[in-house]
Amino acid sequence: MRLRLAGAVLLSAAAYYVYLPLPSGVSEPWKLMLLDALFRSFMQASDVAHALGVCHRIHLLNHVVSWVEEIEARSCPAVHVTDTVLGGVPTRVFQPKGGKQLKRGVIYFHGGGWALCSGRMRSYDHLCRKMAEDLDSVVMSVDYRLAPDAVFPAQYHDALAASRAFLSAEVLERYSIDPERVCVSGDSAGGNLAAAVAQELSSDDALTANFKLQALIYPVLQALDFYTPSYQQNRDVPILYRPIMARYWLQYLGADTSLEPLLLANNHSSLDQPALSSSIRSKLDWTALLPAERRKHFQPVVRETGSPRVMGEVPQLIDVRAAPLLAEQGVLGRTPKAYVMTCEFDVLRDDGLMYVRRLQDAGVTVTSDHYEDGFHGCMVFAYLPMMSKVGWRSMNNYIHWLDQNL
């Protein structure tokens, strides 16, 4: 009887820990709850280790990710897989066997808040392997340096160096890639890097080859407004919580994470900030850039007075290499045809949707692929153990778009 009682108590405690009220429209809520419980457990353990001085929280999280998820480069009957270096940056290459003599080419940057994950993870390996096979394309998955050991602009420089090498005549010839059918892509923080690289290289007339497409998967594109409608609506929706995104930004920019409450209050973008001109503010004015069905009932949060020291300590917040949404229209107009995936239950939804509008206003052809039941990171959870339905659907649609346009 005591064992039964103890079991019931433990089961109730586990259910209490796992259960999280979620919006009714989110795909497969119980799977997301279980995933979130697992993530919260790891993050809480890493916070304890960090507080005790055992190691940095990010180092522990990456150690767990490496132990659980990273796999060796293993070829299969359809795809040859190798680890190499691209522009001085570790990269995993997926080459389809057979098919056309000249291949399409995709360079891919993984997500993880510029601090976590790797192209060697099982989820990214599966994604890139499928892309290589389905598209008859050479896919190069880049392992850029990570925070806290490397901070902005190191990740950007790695992405840029790898992209320049990818577009070089030597690499294109070695891997039999058609120079007129190449794409830059990435998810989340990797989508940020892909957008920044596309902006930089589209203006480089010295390149003999350049990207035909940019494909951005729920990208993070700005850190000046943490009160966009999607940040307000999804502040308590896993797996990317609003405070976590602010912390990722501060870690990426090499700033003091004690500034997190100021970012979350929008004190860093108050009206008394001399560094924030009306031109900069217009580039993320969601009241003008978002459609009414996304603005809903939410109101902007703009402080009259804030914390001027934040912009002084972290001027990178308005560096377009870190925040591609802030680019000038002329720069955006030179970027390639675009695909932007967004998810309704994602704090970053409006970053992507505002970028869609700004690209369109600049004359760029854009496909906006929105998932009403999607959540942040869903595409990389298409495979086991989660087998997310919206993840599988979004991945197939993303690959289909590449197939039709690349």
Residues taking part in catalysis: 188, 346, 376
Query: Exposed/middle/buried for 157, CB within 10 Å: 0-12, 13-18, 19+?
Result: middle
DSSP helix/strand/coil, 87:
coil
Residue in the structure block whose two tokens are 């420089």: 157
DSSP helix/strand/coil, 338:
strand
Which residue from 278, 277, 295 is spatially nearest to 286, judged by alpha carbons? 295
Please provide the distance, in angstroms rounded to a whole number, between the alpha carbons at the two ends of the chain: 65
DSSP helix/strand/coil, 204:
coil
How far apart are alpha carbons 273 and 267 in whole angstroms?
A: 9
Cis peptide before 219 (omega within 30 of 0): no
Report DSSP letters for 358-374, one per residue. Answer: HHHHTT--EEEEEEEEE
Contact status, residue 245 vs residue 192, Cβ threshold 8 Å: no
DSSP helix/strand/coil, 82:
strand
Q: What are residue 370's phi and psi, to 5 degrees? A: -105, 135
Give residues with Cβ within 8 angstroms of 3, minimum separation 6.
Answer: none
Taking the CB of residue 376, how many other CB atoms lie within 10 A of it?
25
**Residue 99 falls in which region: left (phi positive, over 0), alpha (psi -120 to 50) or beta:** left
Which residue from 327, 319, 380, 377 is spatially nearest to 155, judged by alpha carbons? 319
Q: Tokens for 197, please give them.
A: 């690289």
Strand partners, 183: 106, 213
Length of the chain: 406
Cα→Cα distances 394→115, 341, 390, Å: 24, 8, 6
Side chain identity at residue 317, one-letter code? L
